Structure 1
Amino acid sequence: MTPFSLRRLLVRLIRLWRSSLQLRTVAITVLATLFAVTVISGYMAVTIATNLYESRKDQVLAEARQATASAQLLFDSSVTQTGAIDVETAAEAVSRTIRLSTSSPTQFALLRTPGQSTPQIMQQRQSPGFDLGVITSELQAAVAEGGDAVFSQPIGINGGTTLEPGIIVGSTIEVPTAGQYELYLVFGVSDVQRTLDFVQQTLLIGSLLLVLTIGLVTFVVVRFAIRPVRLAAQTAEKLADGQLEERIPERGQDVVATLARSFNRMADSLQRQITQLADLSRVQQRFVSDVSHELRTPLTTIRLAGDVIYDRRRSFDPTTARTAELLHTQVQRFETMLADLLEMSRFDAGAVDLETEPTNLVRLVEESIDSIRPLAEQKGTELRLVAPGGYFEADVDARRIRRILQNLLGNAVDHGEGRPVVTYVDSDARAVAIAVRDYGIGMDGAQLERVFDRFWRADPSRQRTTGGTGLGLAIATEDAHLHGGVLDVWSEPMQGSCFRLTLPRRPGGIVRHSPLDLPPSDPVDAVLTEGGHDA
């Protein structure tokens, strides 16, 4: 398996772990159970092994003491009334006695204790196959100096291909006229090892079966418990998708049924409120649309009459002429507001279509700047354009983009406090971006959250020169979304604001990255001295 395949498998496992509550619950339960069972089984295995070994060791020591006592008694009883003893005959009798006094086949060795001054009149004896190498120097020293005590030590017995466990036991025997001899007995404990292996195997199989059983039970219980939660989640997703009639089936009287009833009551309440809000929204939209259409006819008549009065204002006295000018201005603002209301009603009704054509955005920006220049000169604001070059032509609805630009430029001039307003245009192979940057009063965080809301203005008490409906940025946002683009904003109090429009180069494209930073990195001084040119 390649590293890439391993990485994909790991990613899938991580995704499955994060998305499945049932998997996490079962896995954690099985792992915790496995840990607990391992600890308990290990403790039981160690305890059983210790008890079995100690029991076998006590049995071996008892048999060794009995064999030693029998051998000593046999040697002592072999002394005649004259004090003589046939040690070889006695040794043969001792060998037979040792074989008969143990419960299992036992190897033995009868060795003379080194360093004695008495002559060696009895030969050392050992059973066939006895390996003198199993007698360690530590054990031999302990036996030689231990007197009547019995000493033991675990050893490995050569069983052919493997070493089998065993115990060697050493003690001393006083042979009349021959001195001190050491008796070593080797006992095999392979039966204890077989018993221990069986116990450990049983514990292992039992532990695995217990873990599997707990895992299976946990899976069934969790599946039964999570099923209502999964059903509630699926129903909630359907409700979020607009299927307001979806409900959770109610069965029984337990806590799950209570959850279902509470969820359904909540869904019923939400459905009623959403239906009421939808009806109210439709009534409101219909009202705005109807009123806007109904106002067009009288407004047209008023505008025609006002234009006639406005054209003849020079023949009026100053008071009447000023009244004619005010009437003309307010009628124009009324027409603008009415046009915005009609546009928003078309957006709400979904009756808006794009009429795209290849457009040079730099030229479109220049035209928008020229249209706003009289207002900028009145405010004492300098308009700058920064267009470093690139893929500027894009398929857009020029009328709507021009409306967005005029709104952004008008707001920048209104709130720029007479400081320069810089417009940036840049693009790449997939997207185009236009940013309008002013250095005026700016906005705080609370204002930024509502800047694109309908009928909202940053400072209603502030005297404005353009607009006034509070629908400009809302319409601009709808126009941007209609193109598949994004309208972003950056602002800091007393540092100005920057609105950035990012559009896909072709209809249906997706904006993943904007060619312009927000705000663009060029400060005003750099724009004036390096890359900018007068619009």
Structure 2
Amino acid sequence: MPHHSFRFSFRRLLRHGRSEVRRSLQARTVALTVLLTLSVVIVFSMVSMISVRASLLTQTTSQSQADFSNMVEQAQTGLDASDATTTVQIQQLVNDLASNLQSDGASNLVGVYMWSRESTARSIIPISTEPTYEDIITADMHSAVASDVDGNVFYQPVNLPSASDAWNGHTPGAVLGTVLDYGVAGNLEFFAVYSYALQQQSLTQIQLSLLAVCALLSIAVGVVMWMVIRGIVRPVEHVAYAAETLASGNLDTRVEVNRKDELGVLQRSFNGMADSLNQKIDQLEEASASQKRFVSDVSHELRTPVTTMRMASDLLEMKKDDFDPATKRTVELLSGQINRFQDLLADLLEISRYDAGYAALDLVDADMRDPVNDAVEQVTGIAAAKHVDIRAMLPNVQVLAKVDARRVTRIVRNLLANAVDFAEDKPIDVRIAANRKAVVISVRDYGVGMDANTVVHVFDRFWRGDPSRSRITGGTGLGLSISMTDALLHHGSIRVRSALGKGTWFLVMLPRDPLNGRVPDGDLPLTFASEAPDDFSISGGFGVAESPVAERSNAVAIASSAQDNGAHTTDDEDGDE
């Protein structure tokens, strides 16, 4: 069985930290605070270390120089009091003197060294109490001491080799040298080597302590800042979450007011805003309900007088040929306006049913070509009067679906009526695309078109595409809104693309069986390829795919006559129809 061990990755940790800092205000504030604290502490520690090191070096140097001065005085006294005359006696005296100086010297004294200054018969053999460090005394130091005639003390910092030092293999130290006056054997060069190992250890310990203090202080500041910022961010997060919940529709959402500072003001302000919003929504709902009741009541109440007016108008219409020309024209205008009034009442009543929730589908198995053809026939007269050709290019086989045929006819009729108003003598194309799950009805004109800001309002109630048009010739402004509602009742939708000078294209998306719910975009036989309101590119084709409903009706689903089955069509390809 293989063993999977977790391997620490500094790069992964750094990447995660950067992501958290960018995402979280709390993490960003804590990280910045810790970095600033660490920077200040490091600078302070470096300055402190430089000061401590200089002070420690000065103190240690003074101690070494004082100790060396004592040894010089002791050695000179011993030489002055000596009565040695032979070379052996002189050598023995110097040996004993070096040994005594080594034993009586400071604790950091490493070695004592003596040389004859001149080569004579009475010259002594060089004395070294610690031969290991004899090479530390440089030739420059020898020359300086040898050339001195005033008995000065020379000082030179050095590095003593030390295998036990894990930092750099050397221990700091110093060499001090001078000349001892010994007339019998000539002057002696006297050197002493001092080690600063203890001072170096003390300095290293101070550095480690400062480093630990820096780390602990940074961690402590980070923890404190995390707790402080957390106390600020958490109430804000609660308010933000409550705002999201409120925006999603839960108008009873409130936040707990548990603070008396500025965050408490924020909490109370949010609750006050929510209460005010609730109140405004209630007022708007009440006003909307009153408006809907008013429209419904007025629409119903107007039906009787309008019916009476219609009957009187029809009676006058029957006898208009007996009137003089002015009266005859008045009767025609009256009849036309009563027709328009009836259409408006019918639309208002339909809207009232939608608002009241009374609208329902009367689903039947229908050939989708039939309601489309019915809609085309109803608009043919208006289109002919405006010299607009409606080209219905429908499949030559049945396209069966469960629909409310009356509502589908109304959807297509309203779209065609809108297209006729803006076609500008150019043709209108009506086509059907279908597959096993959905049917798409296409209505496209090549007229004036609309800009992107206008397209988003085409399904708004009482919206008019061209406000400058006369209200006498225009529609009610409810047709497209009713069409969209009819499509939504079928669990479908209507999509539109339009551009100035290129016309307008509507696609009515209807499921083959509304009881199965909405059909995802990926299962539609035809749809717009992008979300841009002026992009006419489509995905899919106008072929008719075989469906279970068609199979039950023994209808063979084949491609639409004279239509392509391409997977992707652009507006330029379709514009030649």
1:375 aligns with 2:382: yes
Aligned counterpart, 2:125:
123
What TM-score do the two structures reach when normalised by structure 1?
A: 0.76
1:347 aligns with 2:354: yes
Unaligned runs of 5+ in 1: none
Aligned counterpart, 1:60:
64
Matches within 5 A, 1:12-27: 21-27=25-31
The number of residue pairs the alignment matches comes to 525
Matched residue type, 2:416: L
Percent identity among equivalent residues?
36
The answer (yes or no) to whether the contact 1:395–1:507 under 8 Å persists in 2 is: no
Residue 508 of structure 1: which of 515, 518, 525 is its match? 518
Matched residue type, 2:111: F
Matched residue type, 2:63: Q
Aligned counterpart, 2:337:
330
Aligned counterpart, 2:536:
520
Aligned counterpart, 1:107:
110
Aligned-pair distance for 1:470?
1.2
How big is each residue's C-alpha offset from its partner over 1:39-81, in whole Å with a ceiling of 9 and x where there is no partner?
Answer: 433443444344334432343344344434544554455477x
Residue 413 of structure 1: which of 420, 440, 459 is its match? 420
Aligned-pair distance for 1:457?
1.6
- Taking a change above 3 Å as real, the CA distance of residues 9 and 69 of structure 1, as seen in their structure-2 partners, is closer
Aligned counterpart, 2:448:
441
Matches within 5 A, 1:390-409: 399-409=406-416
Matched residue type, 2:96: A
How big is each residue's C-alpha offset from its partner over 1:419-445, in whole Å with a ceiling of 9 and x where there is no partner?
Answer: 344567668998776665544434456
How big is each residue's C-alpha offset from its partner over 1:292-328, in whole Å with a ceiling of 9 and x where there is no partner?
Answer: 2333344445445545654665676655554554344
Unaligned runs of 5+ in 2: 538-568
Matched residue type, 2:172: G
Matched residue type, 2:348: L
Aligned counterpart, 2:44:
40
How big is each residue's C-alpha offset from its partner over 1:248-304, in whole Å with a ceiling of 9 and x where there is no partner?
Answer: 555676544544444444444333322222111111011112222333344445445
SS at match of 2:193: strand
Aligned counterpart, 1:186:
193
The answer (yes or no) to whether the contact 1:64–1:169 under 8 Å persists in 2 is: no
SS at match of 2:159: strand
SS at match of 2:301: helix
Matched residue type, 2:173: I
Distance 1:398 1:10 in 2: 64
- Taking a change above 3 Å as real, the CA distance of residues 170 and 431 of structure 1, as seen in their structure-2 partners, is farther
Matched residue type, 2:228: V
Aligned-pair distance for 1:447?
3.8
Distance 1:467 1:266 in 2: 43
Larger RCO (alpha carbons 8 Å, 6+ apart): 1
Aligned counterpart, 1:217:
224
Aligned counterpart, 1:92:
95
Distance 2:363 2:145 in 1: 109
Distance 2:179 2:18 in 1: 73
Aligned counterpart, 1:472:
479
Residue 175 of structure 2: which of 147, 169, 172 is its match? 169
- Taking a change above 3 Å as real, the CA distance of residues 10 and 213 of structure 1, as seen in their structure-2 partners, is closer
Higher mean C-alpha displacement, 486-495 vs 207-216 = 486-495
Matched residue type, 1:284: Q
Matched residue type, 2:102: R
The answer (yes or no) to whether the contact 1:155–1:166 under 8 Å persists in 2 is: yes
Distance 2:509 2:299 in 1: 31
Aligned-pair distance for 1:338?
1.9
The answer (yes or no) to whether the contact 1:379–1:418 under 8 Å persists in 2 is: yes
Distance 1:229 1:488 in 2: 40
The answer (yes or no) to whether the contact 2:128–2:134 under 8 Å persists in 1 is: no
The answer (yes or no) to whether the contact 1:414–1:464 under 8 Å persists in 2 is: no
How big is each residue's C-alpha offset from its partner over 1:472-504, in whole Å with a ceiling of 9 and x where there is no partner?
Answer: 233334345555555455545455444455667
- Taking a change above 3 Å as real, the CA distance of residues 292 and 100 of structure 1, as seen in their structure-2 partners, is same
The answer (yes or no) to whether the contact 2:494–2:506 under 8 Å persists in 1 is: yes
Aligned-pair distance for 1:211?
3.1
Aligned-pair distance for 1:92?
1.3
Matched residue type, 1:127: T
Higher mean C-alpha displacement, 493-502 vs 282-291 = 493-502
The answer (yes or no) to whether the contact 2:449–2:503 under 8 Å persists in 1 is: yes
The answer (yes or no) to whether the contact 1:169–1:185 under 8 Å persists in 2 is: yes
How big is each residue's C-alpha offset from its partner over 1:148-188, in whole Å with a ceiling of 9 and x where there is no partner?
Answer: 34232341443558546231314243565666765443333
The answer (yes or no) to whether the contact 2:430–2:441 under 8 Å persists in 1 is: yes
SS at match of 1:107: strand
The answer (yes or no) to whether the contact 1:251–1:257 under 8 Å persists in 2 is: yes
The answer (yes or no) to whether the contact 1:106–1:187 under 8 Å persists in 2 is: yes
Matches within 5 A, 1:454-469: 454-463=461-470, 468-469=475-476
Distance 1:419 1:7 in 2: 65
